[in-house]
Amino acid sequence: MNVHVAYFCLHKNKLFQKRSFNYDDSGMHFMQRISMTAFMRLLKASFKDCAMKTIRLLYPDHVSGGLDTYDFGARLMQYILPPNNHQPLFKVDILPPNHQNKSITHGIYAEDEVLNGIQNAQKLLHAENPDRVITIGGNCIVSLAPFDYLHGLYPNAGIIWIDAHPDVSTPNDGYPNAHAMVLGSLLGNGAPQLSSQMKNDKFKPDNVLYIGLQPLHDYQERFLNQIGIQYKTQDKAFVSNDEILNFTRRFDHILVHFDIDVLDEHFFHSTYFANPELVGDGSGGGRMTIEKLNEILHIITRHTHVVGFTIAEYLPFDEYKLHQMFCSLPLFTE
């Protein structure tokens, strides 16, 4: 075994940043500080990451949330993320907003466009065959195709759903926007027309950990209880770091879904609930600060092997208004 090559991969990998052991700049000194079992475990994960193909999936679905700003938010988010030449960007083919009302079919608003977006994402993932996917939404529906794809690669994968809402609505619950149905569909119990798009096994209820979940509607609570998801509403206190780590230890790989609306709209304003004109399904917004979110994401990424990460529901309303204003000026468009 080439210790220096192993050390290089470990040093490049975030798992190496764990503070459960001491190390310095000497690969041999590092080898002497940890057990061979621990070293081999880290080495396996590190060589995986060194060879992993990671893509960024720009998926500006807007119809599943019934709001054009989702499209603008996704396109802006691609520039907010740190640049990385090793993570090429691929765009899912989505019809741009046309400011027209869509019909509700089988309980889902703009059903054909929603399903076409999922299918186009699946085709892209199949063509590129990545090992890790960073999905840039768009609304929450954008997690369905990549999480299903990654579940086919990594059967023992857990989902950490960082969201103020459970996303387990069905077409029968009276709210037709598919972004509220995505996790229920990944579990095989949401919208049949969404679950039927999946190519791999459905996730199990004990594969899910909610972080940031706020008080539920009755039908959401009934759904979660019926299928057996363990959850806690977190309007007073979030799940602890120990609870997060205990969950992740059960899985070889982790998929993270991060919905911007988990953030408190009083402190972070590019979220659905910062816009008083919107009512959605009557739910409330999140209670998390950016500082707490930062802590949670560091806990997850330092101690687990994250192969899927979704950023969803970024809604920069002020920036969108500026964009619309400039678009109305012939100076910029002629």
Residue-by-residue DSSP string for 60-110: ---TTTT-THHHHHHHHHHHHSPP-TTS-EEE---PPP-S----EETTEET
- Give dist(CA 255, CA 310) in Å, integer: 8
31 in the same domain as 175: no
Could you state, in chain order, the average pLDDT of each consecutive group of 10 residues for the chain (334 residues)? 40 39 40 48 58 96 96 98 98 94 96 98 98 98 98 98 98 96 96 98 98 96 96 96 98 98 96 90 92 98 97 97 96 95
212 in the same domain as 144: yes
76 in the same domain as 33: no
134 in the same domain as 25: no
Query: pLDDT tens digits for 248-292?
Result: 999 999 999 999 999 999 999 999 999 988 888 888 899 999 999
91 in the same domain as 69: yes
- 327 inside domain: no
15 in the same domain as 156: no
- 296 inside domain: yes
67 in the same domain as 194: yes
17 in the same domain as 112: no
How much of the chain is helix, strand and coil, in % rounded to 5? 45, 15, 40
79 in the same domain as 39: no
156 in the same domain as 20: no
CATH code (residue 216) = 3.40.800.10
289 in the same domain as 143: yes
Domain that holds residue 285: 54-322
- Give dist(CA 146, CA 13) in Å, integer: 23
Query: pLDDT tens digits for 55-67?
Result: 999 999 999 999 9
* pTM for this prediction: 0.86
142 in the same domain as 28: no
The count of structural domains within the chain is 2
- 8 inside domain: yes
- 329 inside domain: no
Strands 208-211 and 306-312, by their bridges, are unpaired
